[in-house]
Amino acid sequence: MRVHVLETSDPEWAAYLPGTRHDIFHIPAFVRAEDRFHGTESRLVVVEDGESALLVPLVFSALPGGFEDASTPHGPAGPVFSEGATEEWRRAAVSALVDHLRERGVVSLFLRGHPLAGLGDFAGAGAVVEHGPSFVIPLDRPLEEIKGGMRQNHRRNMRRAERDGHIAVQDTEWEHLEEFHRIYTRTMERVEAGSAYRYSREYFERLRDEAGMYTSLWVLMMDGELAGAHLVTSCSGTVQYFLGATHPDFHRRVPQVAIFDAVLSWAHSRGDRDYVLGGGLQESLRHFKSGFTQVERSEATARIVIQHDEYERLCTGWEAENGPLTRRRDAFFPGYRTPAPAA
C-alpha cells in the first residue's frame, strides 16, 4: 500500500474525496478556515491501493526528541474509506497507517469519528471510546412521515411558530452575518464555552467566502431583531447543524424547533440523505434533540498508542511533575498532554 501526506493547498486533497462518504470537515477550504482560527496546519494522510483509499486528516504536534503526536483537526473530521472498500482491506489500511506514523516518529494518535462513519475499523489498533449519541434524521421517507414521528410537543410548537409567523429562512446573502456573530459571541459567553468554540467574525467570513457552497445561515426574526440563527453545513448528501446562537433578549421565547423544521424541509427537498443534529453535553439538550428523531449514532474517539516506550516515558515525566495520571480508557488522551492541575 502507498502512504503519502498532502497539504490543504494540494489539489490532490479535494480530488480524493469523491467516492467517499465525506463531510464538510474534510473539505480543504473548511479545514483551512479551522487552521487559521486555531493556529494549526492540517495534513491529509492517504493510504491507497488500487481503487481503494483511506483518508485521514491530521494535525501533527512536535514533542521532545524529534517525536510527534497526531490528532484529528477540530471537529469530527474523522477517517473515511472509499466506498466499496472491503473489511479486510480496511484493516490492512489501518495497519499501514499505523506503520507509517511509527516510521515518522508519531507517539500517539487521537481520532474523532464522524457519527455517520464511526471508528470501528480502528478498534483493533487501540481503544475506541463512545461519548454519547448524535441524533440523525434519515431523509429517505416522505416529509410528513418524518414529522409524524417527532415528539408531540415538538410538532405542536412547530405549528404554533408557523401560526405566529415565526418562520426561519435561509439568509442567502449572509446579510445577518454581523448580527449572528454578535449573538453567537454572547451565547458562548452565557454557556461559558471554551476558547476553541469562540469563533471570530473573520472565521465566519472565511466560511462564507471560501466554503460558502457548503455552508448556509438560517435566521429567525422576532420583533424586527435576529432572535436565533443556525449555521448549517451541507456536503455529500449530509446536512448538519454546525453552530447556533440565540439573542439573549429572546432566550426564553425563540422557537428553536422552527429553525430545525425549516432546515429539515430544505434538506428533504434537495434529496439529501441525512440531517445530523449532533449531540450535546447537557441532558436537556439531548432530550430536546431526541424529540426530532429516535435514530442515534455514536460520537466516539479512538486513542492509539503507536510508540509504547516513548508514550510511557512521556507519561512518567508528566507524573513526576503533577502526580499520578488517570489510566481509564476515557481519560484525557494522550495522558502526557493532560492539563496540569491548578495550583
Q: Encode pLDDT of 116-131 as tens digits.
A: 988 999 999 999 999 9
Q: Look at the chain and report how many structural domains it folds into.
A: 2
Is residue 248 assigned to a domain?
Answer: yes
In angstroms, the first-to-last Cα distance of the chain is 49
Give the distance, in angstroms, between the CA of residue 198 and the centroid of all CA atoms in the same chain.
Answer: 15
> Which stretch of 7-11, 151-155, 236-240, 283-287 has the lowest confidence by average pLDDT?
283-287
Torsion sign (Cα): 22, 23, 25, 27:
positive
**Do 101 and 196 belong to one domain?**
no
Write out the three cell numbers for 341.
Answer: 492541575
Is residue 126 assigned to a domain?
Answer: yes
Residue at grid coordinates 409567523: 165
**Do 29 and 72 belong to one domain?**
yes
Segment 82-120, tens digit of pLDDT: 998 999 999 999 999 999 999 999 999 999 999 998 899
Is residue 342 assigned to a domain?
Answer: no
What CATH code is carried by the domain that includes residue 266? Answer: 3.40.630.30
Is residue 285 assigned to a domain?
Answer: no
pLDDT of 334 reads 96
Q: Give the start-end residues of each E strand in the chain.
A: 2-7, 42-49, 52-62, 68-71, 80-81, 106-112, 127-138, 169-170, 215-222, 225-235, 238-246, 274-278, 296-305
pLDDT of 274 reads 97
Torsion sign (Cα): 138, 135, 181, 259:
positive
**Do 215 and 232 belong to one domain?**
yes
Q: Give the start-end residues of each E strand in 63-147.
A: 68-71, 80-81, 106-112, 127-138
**Do 149 and 257 belong to one domain?**
yes
Beta bridge partners of 278: 135
Is residue 293 assigned to a domain?
Answer: no
**Do 117 and 149 belong to one domain?**
no
**Do 34 and 151 belong to one domain?**
no
Is residue 286 assigned to a domain?
Answer: no
Is residue 287 assigned to a domain?
Answer: no
Supply the pTM of this predicted model.
0.92
Residue at grid coordinates 464522524: 114
Mean pLDDT (the chain, rounded): 94
Beta strand pairing call for 80-81 and 238-246: unpaired
Is residue 290 assigned to a domain?
Answer: no
CB distance 243 to 230 below 8 Å: yes
What is the band of 343 on the pLDDT scale with cuts at 50, 70, 90? low
The string of DSSP codes covering 285-302 is HHHHHHTT-S-EEEEEEE
What is the band of 254 on the pLDDT scale with cuts at 50, 70, 90? confident
**Do 127 and 162 belong to one domain?**
no
Q: Could you tell me the residue range of the domain that residue 205 belongs to?
A: 141-272
For residue 57, give the nearest of 12, 99, 21, 26 by alpha carbon. 26
Cα-Cα-Cα-Cα torsion 332, 313, 76, 116, nearest 10 degrees, comes to -90
Segment 301-320, tens digit of pLDDT: 999 999 999 999 999 999 99
pLDDT of 253 reads 77
Domain termination site, one of 237, 272, 307: 272
CB distance 255 to 218 below 8 Å: no
**Do 128 and 161 belong to one domain?**
no
Segment 154-179, tens digit of pLDDT: 999 999 999 988 989 999 999 999 99
Mean pLDDT value of segment 249-253? 79
**Do 32 and 117 belong to one domain?**
yes
Mean pLDDT value of segment 43-58? 96
What is the identity of the amino acid at 162? Answer: E
**Do 182 and 91 belong to one domain?**
no
CB distance 279 to 135 below 8 Å: yes
**Do 12 and 116 belong to one domain?**
yes
**Do 146 and 126 belong to one domain?**
no
